[in-house]
Structure 1
Amino acid sequence: MRAPIIEIFSSFQGEGLLIGERQIFVRFAGCNLNCNYCDTNDSKSVQSGKVMTPGEVSKQITKLMTADCKSISFTGGEPSLYPEFISEVSRNFDLNIMLETNGTLPENINLIEKLDMVSLDIKLPEHFDGEFDESIFQNEIKSLNLLIAKSINVYCKVVILPSTKIKSFKEVVEKLSQNISNKSNLKIIIQPSSPLGEWKDINSKLFEFSEVVGQYFEVSTIPQIHKILDIE
């Protein structure tokens, strides 16, 4: 078993509910989407990764272990392209396992044997050049309901761009609310795209986006802290 790996490194989580926590990151190469805001463009192609075995990845993780690190984050690219590989690596460690995913491959996500937390991106029409494929959202819903049914700790991250319109954003949040089987414990993280200097009147816009989500879900607004700290 092999998979293309961009990098394996230790850093602070810069996004979402575990922000500020030390993690070991395993970044896979290859993605099934082509988002226009992606900040890891080099991970989109499988050709950009180094082909490694689960054993080789596990050795690199072991070398990076520190006392303050309690979890491994599998990210990308799109890590759910490699469910068996993730399961194989995870068996070697008594650590919490986090998946950072676009959620569009529910069948693959279901194959991952051990998951403690999932950060699932909800895509907006503005995230793509050209017409938005509605199946993306439908598969994200399937993944969320699957994870909730398995009692896995999952939250949604929604990246907003300076071009994101409140109207389309509200439509997506409403659809999300209507289609989630149990939304009582689901939290939404609004993440303004980096760099923040590209925004005009960001404060007023962020309050407006937060108010929209707050009608249906718990909500927090968190920028990419690792960009502010200038770390990987």
Structure 2
Amino acid sequence: MLEAPIVEIFSSIQGEGLLVGRRQIFVRFAGCNLDCNYCDTEDSKSVKNGELKSVDYVVDRINNLKTEDLHSISFTGGEPLLYADFIREVIDRIDTPSFLETNGTFPNEIKKLDNLDYVSLDIKLPEHFDGDYNNKIFDREIESVNILLENSIKVYCKIVLFPESSLDYIEGLALRMSNEINDKDLVSVVIQPVSPISRWKNSKDLLFKFSQAIGKYMDVLTIPQLHKFLEIE
């Protein structure tokens, strides 16, 4: 019987990305392969903070939390791709669209999830880490995007930007995405200003510059974290 470490399962409103404002049931897994310095779910980084649950348990909780306005089930973390086989089985047993929030660094695992409906895939930047940045991270992220496109899964990329982020680096990143994503017209890039938004008090003009730089090569939107404003989980 498949089990996975679960931090929490709850119903709320999606606060990020292209599905912002949609009612979702969130299944939050424990454990992550990365250690991003802006993470707002620190308790989900360690596997120790999760409680092992079965597929039956998760499916039952989802069914009990359903509401009339439910749009989709969000598999989040932590890094949910650590539990791809578990997620696949859950999706096969529910009748609601599925949404994966991932750092995209496990392309071999994402191949297992050809039954997904939506994916939000983070593009990591060097400033997201206090230690050294592994250049292979970007290669794996783009590989994952292309696998999703091959399987006709709706995917967008999210980039958490800091006021300190390099404009030249971001433009170069967007150019690489444009060149390396197999069908860039099917993929939007969401700029997510790092929270709290007060960090941007003296740098709001930078958001326009970041948008223009990415917009030279990719479809781009700027969407802050709605749930921070609403003060909900």
Map of 2:215 onto structure 1: 214
Shift of the alpha carbon at 1:137?
0.5
Secondary structure at the aligned position of 1:167 is classed as helix
**CA distance in structure 2 between the aligned counterparts of 1:159 and 1:68, rounded to whole angstroms:** 28
Who is 1:2 aligned against? 3
Say if 1:124 and 1:172, in contact at 8 Å, map to a contact too.
no
Matched letter for residue 140 of structure 1: E
- The aligned residue for residue 52 of structure 2 is 51
Following the alignment from structure 1 to structure 2, what is the Cα–Cα distance between the partners of residues 135 and 26?
Answer: 28
Q: Root-mean-square deviation (CA), in Å?
A: 0.9
Equivalent position of 2:32 in the other structure: 31
**C-alpha distance in 2 between matches for 1:55 and 1:62:** 11
1:82 corresponds to? 83
Indicate conservation of the 8 Å contact 2:163/2:206, yes or no. Answer: no
Q: How far 1:130 sits from its partner (Å)? A: 2.3
How many residues in Structure 1 have an aligned counterpart in Structure 2? Answer: 232
1:119-157 deviations in Å (ceiling 9; x for gaps): 000001111112210110010010011111111100000
**2:228 matched residue in structure 1:** 227
Is 2:42 the counterpart of 1:41? yes
Gaps of 5+ in 2: none
Q: Secondary structure at the match of 1:42?
A: helix
The code of the aligned residue for 1:198 comes to R
Q: Measure, in 2, the Cα distance between the counterparts of 1:32 and 1:191.
A: 21
Map Cα deviations across residues 57-87 of structure 1 (whole Å, 9 max, x no partner).
Answer: 1111111110100210000000011011001
Letter in 2 for 1:39: D
Equivalent residues in 2 for 1:63-82, closer than 5 Å: 63-82=64-83
Separation in structure 1 between the aligned mates of residue 114 and residue 62 of structure 2, nearest angstrom:
19
* Deviation of 1:6 (Å): 0.6
TM-score (norm 1): 0.98
Letter in 2 for 1:225: L
Secondary structure of 1:38's aligned partner:
coil
Q: Deviations over 1:153-183 (max 9, x none)?
A: 0000000012211122122212111211110
Indicate the residue corresponding to 1:11 in structure 2.
12
1:192 is the counterpart of 2:213: no
What displacement does 1:93 show?
A: 1.1
Asked whether the 8 Å contact 1:16–1:119 carries over to 2, the reply is yes
Q: Structure 1 unaligned segments of length 5 or more: list them.
A: none
Aligned residue identity for 2:124 = K
Contact 1:26 1:73 in 2 (8 A): yes
Task: String of CA shifts for 1:85-121, please: whole Å, max 9, x gaps.
Answer: 0011112211100000000001001112410000000
- 1:192: Cα distance to partner? 0.2
CA distances 1:45-67 after superposition (whole Å, capped 9, x unpaired): 10100110010111111111101
Match of 1:161 in 2: 162
- Once residues 114 and 151 of structure 1 are traced to their aligned partners in structure 2, the CA distance between those partners, rounded to angstroms, is 10
1:98 matched residue in structure 2: 99
Amino-acid identity (%): 53
Distance 2:132 2:178 in 1: 23
Q: How far, CA to CA, are the matches of 2:66 and 2:213 in structure 1?
A: 41
Q: Distance in 2 between matches of 1:156 and 1:11?
A: 22
Secondary structure (helix, strand or coil) at the match of 2:34 reads coil
Structure 1 contact 36–129 (Cα < 8 Å) conserved: yes
Question: How far apart are the structure 1 equivalents of 2:163 and 2:70?
Answer: 35
Aligned equivalents of 1:200, 1:70: Cα separation in 2: 34
Aligned residue type for 2:123: I
User: Normalised by the size of structure 2, how large is the TM-score?
Assistant: 0.97
Between 107-116 and 138-147, the greater mean CA deviation after superposition: 107-116
Contact 2:170–2:214 at 8 Å: present in 1 too? no
